[in-house]
Structure formats: structure tokens, C-alpha cells
């Protein structure tokens, strides 16, 4: 319902005309965006007519969903003032800035940590609803370009004054940084095994708020500060990855931007590239293949001659994923070939970063299979999926489930319905053991592809097995 009536909202009407969206079309888009975030909205063309002709302002997250729906059609962010809804509850811009100044970067990151983007803590659920729908891939343009121009700050030493906090500021040492690194390592293991929505994974935002924020606001030398920024960047990227895995794309975007800024303060170019690769995967997953290519290539460009062979292989693999989503088979094939070549050069004694511990030939094969799925080449999908599934492990449960779904799709496209359902059943079993909206979406996609065979007994059985997964919030 709308809470206020004013004169006609001519701005909203003009932007709708510019975007070519009808009243019914906008209502449908807003309802769909709300449903993706667990909101039950029932707007229709009459609701939109009231917003435009009578200037009524809808309640809650709706103004931001309206801006997001129009922004998706226009391909750019749409601020509330542009659509005449600036007097609605403002959507915080927290986490979207990429400050040039290190001090401002600290404030930007710690401000993000103090807000409950994921709505996981007890109480009202934080600011999640007011952020709903505000993801825009264009928000990555400035962070990526500023990182490319200057991937490292000249100095990050900080002498905090007592006025900046309660009591004397912390004097940060290497032992403090080590605790953050250990927290990041633990979180990586839990995330891979149980999914981004597992309660243990939800401790990462809390760790950033309680542990990392006070340290960043403390006093430290340049040497300790670099290490502190690096550890905080790792944890912040993890928070983004977990939000991404649970379908909270807006929160993920903010965490990623701050992680990239912290990596720049750490003067850790490979880590910055890893954050850009994460941004690329998110953009690709959301259907922005071209932007995904740009982000992956930004990671590659600055890491030439710096990153290890295994790291470069992963960046090229992420680039291949984006090319495949964009439908460029030749570019995807070239990137996959380069990724495999870099991986063959990797040696056990290389100084690979700890955050790359997940990456092996199995992971390469799994992503190669997804590339060929997007390129509709089932024979290649089957070949790489067989390699990816050859060594199932309890350590990477979510990854195993995703690979099973990709395998099922390949079998279906090859005309092997029974094999597709068999792999689908195995995937559903894995998905039921973890909390991952991304895995659930993969299963939903498989079921959608099986709709033409809906009366087949094996398909009916698979659908029934998947029912509890699909009705349980991820």
C-alpha cells in the first residue's frame, strides 16, 4: 500500500516512458524482485497508475525495487530522486564508495561492517530491505578503474587519536592480524562444506564488525597496516562471496568493493585480482557477460609478471566463464586453453596465496564444463564433468553438488533422460545438506529443462525429491 498522496509524479512517468516499461510491466518487475528477496508483493498496473498520476509513495523497500527494476531496463543505476521518490526512506550508499584516501577507505569499510546487510542478527533484520534491489553492475566501473590506475597506496601507517573511539585506540600488532587470517581460513572451509547460508558462515560479518573494524581504526606501522588490510580484505571478500552464494547480491557487491579497496591498501595485487575475479563471477552469474570479461581482464592485466602460474590460470578461467556467458565461443576456448596452460606450469613449490587452496585441475574441469554448458556443447560438458567428478571430496560439498547438476544438464542435452535424472537425484541429495541459494537455483534450472518430460516416472520422482529443497528458504 502507499502511505502518502501528493501531486502527479511526472518524473516517474517520464522515466517509465524512457525505459519503455508499461504500468503492468513495472508492477511485475517489482513483484519479481521482491520475491527474490523473500518479500510477498502484489502490485498491479493500478498500483503503478496511482504512483504516477496521484504521486503516492509505496512503503518499505518498494521505492528501491522500483528504481532497481527501471535501472535493469536502462542498464544503469537509477537514483530515487530521478523517479520522484527521493522523500522515501533513503537507501544507504554504504559500501559503494572506493575512496582515494586511505583514511576515508577505513571509514568506508568500517561503516559497512557496522551495518547488518545480511539481516542475520537478532532483531529487526537490519537495513536489508532498504538495500533490496540496488545491485547494479555499473557500480563496479569506478572501483575497477581506480584499482587499475593505482593498485597500491604509498603508505598506510596510522596513528589513531583517542577521540576516534571509546578509550585509548588499539595498538595493532602481527598477532592481531594472524587471528583475522585464521578466521578467514576457518570461514573458507565452512563455506565450501556447508554453503554461504550456514550459521557458521554468518559469523564472518560479525567478525568484521567486532574484530576487524576496531583494528582498522587503531594505530599501526606501515608494515603491520599492510598485513592488516590484506587480512581484512580476505575476510571482506569472503563475506561478499557468502552473500553471493545465498542470493544477497546487493550485499555481496558492497563487500566486494570494500575488499578491493582494502587489497589496494595492502599493496596485494594478486589479492586485488582475486576480488575482481569474484566480481566477474557475480556479473557473469547475473547475466552481464561482457562486464564479467572486463573485470576478469582487469585482474589479469595488473598481475602479469606478479601472480603465480596457478593464480593466472584461475583468472583466465574466470575470463573464460564470462566469454561463454556472452556467447563468444572462440574467446572462451582461447581463455580455457590459456588457463590450462598456466595450470600445467604450476609447481608444488610455488608461493601460491593461501586463498587459492581450492583451485586444482578438478576445479578447472568443473568451470570448463560450465563454459561449454553455456555454449550448448553437451559433448564437451560431459567430458569435463567426468573429470570434475572423478575425485569427490567432503571438503568441497557445494562444488560437488553444482557439478552434478551440470552433469545432469549435459546428459539431458545428449538425450539421456535416465542418466540426467540419476545425476539430478544425487545433486538434490547434496543440495539438501548445505545452505546455498546458488545450488538451489541450479536445481531449479534443471527442473525447468525437464518440464517437457514432466510425465516420465523418473522426472516425477526427481521433482518430488526436490520439493522440500524448493520450499525451504535457502
Last residue of a domain, one of 47, 67, 83: 83
Instruction: Say which CATH number the domain at 394 has.
Output: 1.25.40
Whether 93 has a pLDDT exceeding 60, the answer reads: yes
Predicted local confidence at residue 462, as pLDDT? 93
The answer to whether the beta carbons of residues 108 and 258 sit under 8 Å apart is yes
C-alpha cell at 350: 610455488
The answer to whether the beta carbons of residues 34 and 65 sit under 8 Å apart is yes
Closest CA to 443 of 397, 395, 409, 399: 409
For 35-48, b/e burial (b = at least 16 CB within 10 A) is eebebebebeeebb
Least confident window among 56-65, 170-179, 269-278, 333-342:
56-65
Determine the Cα–Cα distance for residues 321 and 332; give it in Å rounded to an integer: 7
Distance from first CA to last CA of the chain, Å, rounded? 28
Beta bridge partners of residue 220, listed in sequence order: 158
Closest CA to 235 of 268, 203, 195: 203
Query: Which residue segment(s) compose the domain that 75 sits in?
Result: 10-83
Predicted local confidence at residue 302, as pLDDT? 94
Last residue of a domain, one of 53, 83, 113: 83
What's the angle, vertex CA 84, arms to CA 82 and CA 89, rounded to 5? 100
pLDDT in tens, 414-471: 899 999 999 999 999 988 888 888 888 999 999 999 999 988 999 999 999 999 887 7
The structural domain count of the chain equals: 2
Determine the Cα–Cα distance for residues 413 and 321; give it in Å rounded to an integer: 20
C-alpha cell at 108: 568506508
Q: Within a domain: residue 273?
A: no
Whether 142 has a pLDDT exceeding 70, the answer reads: yes
Instruction: Round the average pLDDT of the chain to a whole number and report it.
Output: 87
The answer to whether the beta carbons of residues 312 and 342 sit under 8 Å apart is yes
Q: Within a domain: residue 26?
A: yes
Rounded to the nearest 10°, the torsion over CA 77, 79, 82, 86 is 170
Q: Within a domain: residue 127?
A: no
Q: Give percent above pLDDT 90 in the chain.
A: 62
Q: Within a domain: residue 142?
A: no
The answer to whether the beta carbons of residues 262 and 109 sit under 8 Å apart is yes
Predicted local confidence at residue 459, as pLDDT? 93
Q: What is the DSSP letter of 100?
A: S
Last residue of a domain, one of 83, 107, 135: 83
pLDDT in tens, 143-178: 999 999 999 999 999 998 765 545 667 899 999 999
Q: Within a domain: residue 272?
A: no
pLDDT in tens, 394-407: 677 888 889 899 99
Q: What is the widest separation between alpha-carbon atoms in the chain?
A: 70
Beta-sheet strands, E only, within 202-274 = none
The pTM for the full model equals 0.79
Q: Within a domain: residue 136?
A: no
The answer to whether the beta carbons of residues 228 and 172 sit under 8 Å apart is yes
Q: Within a domain: residue 35?
A: yes
Closest CA to 362 of 334, 397, 391, 401: 391
Q: Within a domain: residue 180?
A: no
CA 31 to chain centre: 22
Average pLDDT over residues 191-201: 63
Amino acid at each position: 500500500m502507499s502511505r502518502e498522496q501528493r501531486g502527479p509524479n511526472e518524473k516517474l512517468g517520464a522515466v517509465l516512458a524512457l525505459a519503455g516499461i508499461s504500468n503492468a510491466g513495472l508492477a511485475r518487475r517489482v513483484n519479481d524482485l521482491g520475491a527474490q528477496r523473500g518479500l510477498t508483493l502484489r502490485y498491479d498496473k493500478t498500483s503503478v497508475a496511482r504512483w504516477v498520476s496521484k504521486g503516492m509513495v509505496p512503503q518499505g523497500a518498494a521505492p528501491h525495487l522500483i528504481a532497481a527494476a527501471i535501472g535493469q531496463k536502462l542498464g544503469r543505476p537509477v537514483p530515487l530522486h530521478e523517479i520522484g521518490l527521493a522523500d522515501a526512506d533513503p537507501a544507504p550508499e554504504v559500501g559503494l564508495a572506493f575512496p582515494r584516501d586511505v583514511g576515508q577507505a577505513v571509514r568506508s569499510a568500517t561503516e559497512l561492517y557496522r551495518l547488518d546487510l545480511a539481516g542475520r542478527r537478532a532483531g529487526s533484520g537490519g537495513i536489508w530491505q532498504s538495500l533490496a534491489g540496488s545491485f547494479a553492475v555499473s557500480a563496479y566501473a569506478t572501483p575497477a578503474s581506480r584499482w587499475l590506475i593505482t593498485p597500491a597506496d604509498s603508505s598506510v601507517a596510522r596513528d589513531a587519536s583517542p577521540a576516534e573511539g571509546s578509550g585509548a585506540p588499539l595498538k595493532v600488532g602481527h598477532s592481531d592480524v594472524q587471528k583475522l587470517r585464521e578466521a578467514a581460513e576457518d570461514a573458507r572451509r565452512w563455506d565450501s562444506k556447508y554453503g554461504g547460508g550456514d550459521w557458521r558462515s554468518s559469523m564472518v560479518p560479525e567478525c568484521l564488525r567486532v574484530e576487524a573494524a576496531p583494528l582498522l581504526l587503531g594505530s599501526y606501522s606501515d608494515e603491520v597496516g599492510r598485513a592488516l588490510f590484506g587480512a581484512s580484505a580476505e575476510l571482506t571478500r569472503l563475506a561478499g562471496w557468502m552473500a553471493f552464494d545465498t542470493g544477497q547480491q546487493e550485499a555481496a557487491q558492497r563487500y566486494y568493493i570494500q575488499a578491493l579497496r582494502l587489497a589496494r591498501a595492502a599493496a596485494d595485487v594478486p589479492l586485488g585480482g582475486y576480488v575482481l575475479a569474484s566480481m566477474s563471477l557475480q556479473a557473469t552469474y547475473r547475466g552481464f557477460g561482457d562486464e564479467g570479461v572486463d573485470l576478469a581482464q582487469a585482474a589479469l592485466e595488473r598481475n602479469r609478471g606478479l601472480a603465480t602460474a596457478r593464480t593466472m590460470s584461475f583468472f583466465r578461467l574466470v575470463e573464460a566463464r564470462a566469454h561463454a556467458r556472452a556467447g563468444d565461443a572462440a574467446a572462451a576456448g582461447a581463455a580455457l586453453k590459456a588457463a590450462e596452460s598456466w595450470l600445467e606450469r604450476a609447481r608444488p613449490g610455488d608461493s601460491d596465496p593461501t586463498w587459492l587452496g581450492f583451485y586444482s585441475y578438478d576445479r578447472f574441469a568443473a568451470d570448463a564444463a560450465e563454459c561449454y554448458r553455456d555454449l550448448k556443447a553437451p559433448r564437451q560438458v560431459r567430458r569435463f564433468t567426468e573429470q570434475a567428478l572423478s575425485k569427490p571430496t567432503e571438503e568441497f560439498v557445494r562444488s560437488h553438488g553444482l557439478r552434478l547438476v551440470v552433469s545432469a544438464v549435459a546428459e539431458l542435452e545428449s538425450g539421456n533422460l535416465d542418466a540426467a535424472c540419476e545425476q539430478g537425484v544425487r545433486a538434490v541429495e547434496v543440495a539438501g545438506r548445505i545452505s546455498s541459494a546458488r545450488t538451489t537455483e541450479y536445481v531449479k534450472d534443471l527442473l525447468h529443462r525437464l518440464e517437457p518430460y514432466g510425465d516420465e516416472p523418473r522426472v516425477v520422482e526427481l521433482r518430488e525429491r526436490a520439493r522440500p529443497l524448493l520450499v525451504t528458504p535457502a
